[in-house]
Amino acid sequence: MTQVQRSQSTLRVRPLSGHIGAEIEGLDLASLALDNRDNEGFATLKSLFLQYQVVILRNQTLTRDQHIALGKRFGDLHVHPMAKGPEGYPEIFPIEADANSSNDPKDIRGGKRAVNGGHWHSDVSCDVEPPLGSLLYLRDVPEYGGDTLFSSGYAAYEALSPALQSLLEGLTAVHSGEATYRLHYGHQAAKDRSQFGFKNGADYPEAVHPVVRTHPETGRKSLFVNRGFTREIVELSHTESQALLEFLYRHQETPEFTVRLNWTPNSLAIWDNRCTQHRAIFDYSGLARRGERVTVKGDRPYFSETASAVEWGLVG
Catalytic position from the list 220, 278, 279, 289? 278
Catalytic position from the list 67, 121, 184, 213? 121
**251 to 156, 199, 257, 302: CA distances (angstroms):** 7, 32, 9, 22
192 is catalytic: no
293 is catalytic: yes
State how far the Cα of 159 lies from the Cα of 240, in Å rounded to an integer.
21
121 is catalytic: yes
DSSP per residue over 240-253, as a string?
A: HHHHHHHHHHHHHT
Catalytic position from the list 80, 184, 227, 293? 293
- CA-nearest of 78, 93, 126 to 224 is 126
Q: Where are the beta strands (DSSP E) in the chain?
A: 2-5, 10-15, 22-25, 54-57, 92-97, 101-102, 113-114, 133-140, 148-152, 172-176, 206-210, 212-214, 221-223, 230-233, 258-261, 267-272, 276-280, 289-296
Note the Cα 81 to chain centre separation in Å. 16
C-beta of residue 53 within 8 angstroms of C-beta of residue 257: no
Catalytic position from the list 123, 175, 215, 289? 123
123 is catalytic: yes
Give the CA count within 13 Å in the CB-facing half-sphere of 63.
6
Residues recognised as catalytic: 121, 123, 278, 293
